[in-house]
Amino acid sequence: MYRLNLHSDHRGSAESPSRRGGKRVPGPPPEAEGGPILSRGPPSAYFSLSPLTRYPGVHSMSRSATSGLVAVLVGFALVLAGGCATGAGQESTASSPGLPPLLGAPAADTVRPGHSAADVQFMIDMIPHHAQALVMAALVPERSERREINLLAERMAISQRGEIALMRQWLDDVGAPVPPSDGGMDHAMHGAHAGHGAHGDHGAADGHAVLMPGMLTDEEIAQLADTRGDAFDRLFLTFMIRHHEGALVMVDALFASPGAAQDDFVYMFASDVYADQTTEIHHMNQMLSRIP
C-alpha cells in the first residue's frame, strides 16, 4: 500500500473521499492527444553549431561592421565586470554580520497537526479487517481454477500484508496498542473491538459484539471453505466485494470524524485504501459477470 506505494498497477483510478480533494490523475500521453511525438535531438546538437549556422545572415556583415560590433561588446563587458565587482563587495559587507534566513523556512511557532483518537482506532480496526481478507485469499489456490482470480488473490495478499505492517508500525510510533499481525482473528471474527469501530457501534445491546463493516461471520468463512470451482469463485467475489465495501465505510467514517486524518500518514494511507479498494471492487464485479 503508504504507499506508500505498496500497491499495484491499478492505483489512482478512484478518487479519495477526503475533504482535501481527490488525487490528480495524469492526463493522456501526448501521442494520444495529437499524434506521434516529434523526436528532438539533444541540446548539445544545437549548441555545437557555429554562429553562422545558428544565425543565418551573420556572414553577410561587412568586416568593418563586425569589428565595430566586437569593440562595442568588449566595452560593454568591461562595464558589467566593474559593476559586478562593486556590487559583490557591497553585498559581502552587508551580509558579513550573519547569514540571512533561508527563504521558505518554516516559522518557529509552526505546529504540525497530530493524530487523533479516531486515527488510532481506524488503524486498530483496519488490521483485523485486512487480516480476514488474507484468510479469504488463502482459500483461493486450492479451490479456484481461474487464473484471474488466483492472480487477484495473490495481489491482495501482498498488498494487505504490506499495509498491515505499515499500520502496526504507525501505531507503535505513536505509542498506541498494536494488534498482532494476524489481526487476532479469533477476536476479530467475534468482534473483539466492541464499541471501538469506525461507526462506534460494534457492541450490541445484549453485550455481544458485532463484526466490523463488511466482515464475514464464522459461518460464512466455513461456507466459502466448503465450496469449489465456479461456486467458490462466485461466492469468493461476492464476499470480497462486500468486504471491500466495508473498508470504504470505515474510511468514510474516519474522514467524517472531527479532527481526524490531519496526520499526513493517516490521510495518505486512508486515501490510498479507498482508491485501491474501489478499483478492485470494479474489477471483481467484472470478473463476477463472466462466471456462468
Percent of the chain with pLDDT strictly greater than 70 = 52
- 81-112 pLDDT, tens digit per residue, is 555 545 444 444 444 444 444 444 444 444 45
Binning pLDDT at 50, 70 and 90, where does residue 71 land?
low
**3-state SS assignment for residue 178:** coil
Rounded Cα–Cα distance for residues 204 and 181 (Å): 26
Q: Indicate if the pLDDT at residue 62 is higher than 60.
A: no
Domains of the chain listed by start with CATH number: 117-289 (1.20.1260.10)
- Region 257-267 average pLDDT: 97
Q: Say which residues have a Cβ less than 8 Å from residue 283's Cβ, sequence separation at least 6.
A: 10, 152
Secondary structure (DSSP) of 6-57: -S-TTTTSS---STT--PPPP---HHHHHSSPPP---HHHHHTS-HHHHSTT
Rounded Cα–Cα distance for residues 125 and 48 (Å): 63
- Region 106-121 average pLDDT: 74
